Chains A and B, each alone.
Chain A
Amino acid sequence: EAGVAQSPRYKIIEKRQSVAFWCNPISGHATLYWYQQILGQGPKLLIQFQNNGVVDDSQLPKDRFSAERLKGVDSTLKIQPAKLEDSAVYLCASSLVPTGTGGLRYGELFFGEGSRLTVL
């Protein structure tokens, strides 16, 4: 079974430029998550999709970050314009069922390898 695919693996941009990250979840996984992991910290949820709808985007800086999952499969996370503090690894994860459905255990998240962003 193919895992969660992310691209690009690495990206270096200058502040105020834009960047986009792509994620393809595990086939059949309805729920998709984008996490931001700053160096030395644990991942922080940015946005959660259930199929093509947004479930939770309360921690997404909406003035500069946007995300979409138009057909309920793959997803794109965009940052425009980027700031120095956006330097981080952006992790995409998927789960078969959403939070609280069918028991917490069955909402296990599977993560991709991440996209490492450096803003200069």
Chain B
Amino acid sequence: AQKITQTQPGMFVQEKEAVTLDCTYDTSDPSYGLFWYKQPSSGEMIFLIYQGSYDQQNATEGRYSLNFQKARKSANLVISASQLGDSAMYFCAMRSQGNLIFGKGTKLSVKP
């Protein structure tokens, strides 16, 4: 069965510092994709970054990078130079042959 686990219900980070949000996954499919979405209080899910299971390099998108450790089945999101606007819920998601499944999310709060 496919599963996404986010073990951090909430995280605090000081503005301008880096933060890592944890995500582990479980699948028996060799081909899969890992996604991170941001959900601000407005409710919309905003795509941040994607990592394919066969990608050789870790994905990066601006201040976002994905620390992909395939053997450990982890896909942690790293946000560098945190900003106040980064305060939101963050969801890790995975898709192989089926639909996109989500973890329970991590609430990130950025302190000024």
| Contacting residue for A104 out of B4, B31, B45, CB 8 A | B31
Smallest beta-carbon distance B48→chain A, Å: 11
**Contact A111 to B45, CB < 8 A, known contacts A33-B99, A104-B95:** yes
Q: Which residues of A (38-91) have their CB < 8 Å from a CB of B?
A: 40-45, 48, 56, 89, 91
- Interface flag for B81 (CB, 8 Å): no
| Contacting residue for B97 out of A91, A99, A111, A114, CB 8 A | A99
| Contacting residue for A40 out of B32, B43, B104, CB 8 A | B104
- Interface flag for A14 (CB, 8 Å): no
A/B pair count, beta carbons within 8 Å: 64
Alpha-carbon distance A108/B37, docked complex (angstroms)? 11
Across chains A and B, which 10 residue pairs bring their CB atoms closest together, nearest first?
Answer: A42-B102, A104-B33, A111-B45, A114-B43, A113-B44, A45-B99, A113-B43, A43-B102, A42-B104, A42-B91
